[in-house]
Amino acid sequence: MRSDLILRVVAKLLIPFILLFALYVQFHGDFGPGGGFQAGVIAAAAVIFYALIFGLADARRMVPEPLVESMMALGVLTFGSVGLAGLLLGGNYLDYFVLAHDTVHGQERGIFWVEVGVAITVSGVMLKIFYMFADRGKVDDE
């Protein structure tokens, strides 16, 4: 699809809106349907769409494999850190009430950071799976 000018132009126009929608789903997840999992999948879908239109090599330059692997670890670390913060502040694991002076603000902070961790992890895992499937045919050819 590298030679199809219309697809390339449409992709360049759509990808920023797809990523913006991922951010909307991430930040709106507290108030309605959505959250970290959905936002992570949408963000990964934008990169996969980029790879389908512009080629896998260009997508790997944009989001390299070491970054994808780091995203998986960083997301889990973020999720776990919220739980440990609750323990260190005198609550239970993933007890959001102790994360702020007010229990409501603590809930908001805790849920926000847990959802950020989930979004980063899910996006990284989806991209890793895509990269692994995209590489599958290359191993057989060599």
Contact by Cβ (8 Å): 73, 27: no
CA-nearest of 118, 25, 138 to 74 is: 118
| Cα–Cα distance for residue pair 8/54, rounded to 1 Å | 7
> What is the tens place of the pLDDT at every residue in 87-141?
898 888 888 888 888 888 888 888 889 999 999 999 999 999 999 999 887 655 4
CA-nearest of 66, 77, 68, 70 to 117 is: 77
> What is the tens place of the pLDDT at every residue in 74-101?
999 999 999 899 889 888 888 888 888 8
| Cα–Cα distance for residue pair 38/33, rounded to 1 Å | 9
Taking the whole predicted model, whether its pTM rises above 0.75 is answered as yes
CA distances from 79 to 76, 82, 126, 138, 139 (A): 5, 6, 18, 35, 35
DSSP assignment of 79-97 equals: HHHHHHHHHHTTS-TT-GG
The whole domain housing 110 covers: 5-141
Residue 140, pLDDT score: 52
Residue 86, pLDDT score: 87
CB count in 10 Å sphere of residue 128:
16
> For the chain, what is the domain count?
1
pLDDT of 1 over the 80 cut: no
